[in-house]
Amino acid sequence: MIEQTDLLNNSRNTGEGSFTLPGGSITVNRMGYGAMQLAGRDGDKLVWGPPRDVEEAIAVLREAVASGVNHIDTADFYGPHVTNQIIRKALAPYPDDVVIVTKIGARRGQDGSWIPANSREELTAAVHDNLRNLGLDVLDLVNLRITFSIHGPAEGSIEAPITVLAELQQKGLVRHIGLSNVTATQIAEARQIAPIVCVQNMYNLVQRSDDALIDDLARDGMAYVPFFPLGGFNPLQSAALSEVAVRLEATPMQVALAWLLQRSPNILLIPGTSSIEHLRENLKASTLQLPSEVVAELDSIGQASRH
């Protein structure tokens, strides 16, 4: 699926540049798309059930790919199963350069809760669920999400689940392995068991606890993929960010995304939306160049949030 050549040799929106994951077999444009918001909502159950308009969700995915997005992030526990089934309906047979990245390590309770699912049986079932619902024979990249704490990364050995995922890789069901919601110690532990190509943690203009980790991964040529790059269910709110956006004639969210792209060349973005209009706004962030003085001004937002 992913024997890619130079992805920049096309006329689509690739102004943000590309990044090649360790191993050299996957190159993606740095502005990707996160599919979580394609699922619906049922009362207090977020990311649950089908969206109100499935055809609109399909249109968003097709617009993203037509605009140059070739990195789509998903998980079979979104819905559950909903986003993967929509992705398959929208994009299969998949273009050769499209990379589908999924996550395992959690499942959904009937009440909509997010439940850790890291046993051998659960991880194996999750890989097969993703394969079936996406309509694939092999998964390009699977992120193992560690759920020791709902409040962010927490220390603890991940040898057992990463060993299971490495075995699934050896069986040919998974090409590459990544980690999500992890600490630097856990990344080091995992790399003793299997090659790790990317890390996906929460990070944005305000949430900056992974600053040192991003720089360490960049030195090793590994990708860092911030989830909730725009703040997640509670969008970023900052008077300073809004003021910068007005000066640059951009939206605050475009500025926040542009800041991430300029933060480090190993950062890959996966902002999500269920709206074509918002998708187009997000993609424009890839062409927004922030002057050095603006970057310094925005950096101060994160510094202030840590005090």
Question: Residue 70 class from Cβ within 10 Å (0-12 exposed, 13-18 middle, 19+ buried)?
Answer: buried
Of 78, 94, 203, 224, which one is the catalytic site residue?
78
Q: Taking the C-alpha atoms of 269, 270, 271 and 272 in order, what is their torsion angle to the nearest 10 degrees?
A: 170
Question: Residue 69 class from Cβ within 10 Å (0-12 exposed, 13-18 middle, 19+ buried)?
Answer: buried
78 is catalytic: yes
Question: Residue 252 class from Cβ within 10 Å (0-12 exposed, 13-18 middle, 19+ buried)?
Answer: buried
Query: What is the DSSP secondary-structure string of 264-297?
Result: -TTB-B--B-S-HHHHHHHHHGGG-PPPHHHHHH
CB-based contact 31:69 (threshold 8 Å): yes
What's the CA gap between 8 and 298, in Å, rounded? 29
CB-based contact 260:226 (threshold 8 Å): yes
Q: Which residues are marked as active site?
A: 78
